[in-house]
Amino acid sequence: MKAKKFIIKKHFEGLPKKSDLELVEEELPPLQDGDVLYEAIFLSVDPYMRLVATRLPLGSTMIGSQVAKVIESKHPAYKVGDNVVAELGWRSRTVVNPDDVSSPYGGKAKPHVLPNFGDIPLSTALGVLGMPGNTAWFGLTKLCEPKSGETLVVTGAAGAVGSLVGQIGKILGLKVIGFAGTDEKVKILKEELNFDHAFNYKTCDVTESLKIAAPHGVDIYFDNVGGTISSIIMTSMNTFGRVAVCGSISAYNADPKNLPLAPLMQPTIIFKQLKIEGFIVTRWLNIWMEGIHKNLEFMKQGKLKVKETILKGFEQMDDAFIGLFLGENIGKAVIEV
């Protein structure tokens, strides 16, 4: 059986280019005992892939998770017709022993059989009911000590994680202020996603916007972007403010040996006595389902609206990926095969 995959042809330098990746066909081997044949239904593109890919040898398949259907199985834990979420990389079909699948962060990552999703689209297993949803839930609740009435700022607010962080913040009783990169995104944040305030960081003065939107100061900052805007937002924070550092998309295309510069944060960190914590969501693998159940409950209650940008066609993966860095997606970017 034939399959398609994207391999790394050239290590990314600056903004990823289509020529850095190559779409290749391969003939899949017959299944050995223990193997499963998976067929991708939805594939995820996420900014972190930019960073992980630079550490992989040329010729490697791009890493990433997908929702896939079991087509054939010689493994007792997987039945034909099961849907799984799995770290299979950018592959349209995969033959693998599921016990051997590894996580891009190290360690094993056995494909996870999904329960019946009913009316909920399977793509959400890559978004609100998957890694980005748990990133939002755990990052906000475990690291930021949110207390009703406090003020939360989110950057990358219209992205896969940011759009959920802001809505969860509202559910927890916070005042929520979002920064995003287009007027269209700002409109959606305010009109559809219940943000109290939203601003286009490309056209507003961040300090002045926060004076108006957060006259009593910012208590929590959920940082998806890093860089100068983060230094500025921190100067608007209250004493004992908390910062969760989730993403740094402003630096993902930079040379890691020669990172861009930003205004010093230490004077602000000291005088506001800020607590800043960086995290990778897999630190909460042992309580993973807590996040999934919480976000599912909020969805069912109509309190958490899910935005997705779905591109059709496996061959579009590179475009969808590059689009992340051009700010093209609203909510979770997903490829439907």
- Binding residues for a second copy (CB under 8 A): 51, 223, 226-227, 230-231, 245-248, 250-252, 254, 256, 259-280, 283
Q: Return the number of other C-beta atoms located less than 10 Å from residue 208's C-beta.
A: 10
Closest approach, Cβ 97 to a second copy, in A, equals: 29
Q: Return the number of other C-beta atoms located less than 10 Å from residue 186's C-beta.
A: 23
Closest approach, Cβ 280 to a second copy, in A, equals: 6
Name the residue nearer to a second copy (CB basis): 252 or 314. 252
CB 222 within 8 A of CB 144: yes
Name the residue nearer to a second copy (CB basis): 84 or 143. 143
DSSP letters spanning 193-240: S--SEEEETTTS-HHHHHHHH-TT-EEEEEESS-SHHHHHHHHTEEEE
Closest approach, Cβ 253 to a second copy, in A, equals: 11
Name the residue nearer to a second copy (CB basis): 38 or 137. 137
Closest Cα partner for 255 from 51, 60, 18, 104? 51
Which residues are paired to 4 by β-bridges? Answer: 25
Joined together, the tokens standing for residue 54 give 């630079």
Closest approach, Cβ 134 to a second copy, in A, equals: 15
Name the residue nearer to a second copy (CB basis): 148 or 266. 266
Give the C-alpha separation, 247 to 15, whole Å.
16
Name the residue nearer to a second copy (CB basis): 111 or 181. 181
Closest approach, Cβ 112 to a second copy, in A, equals: 23
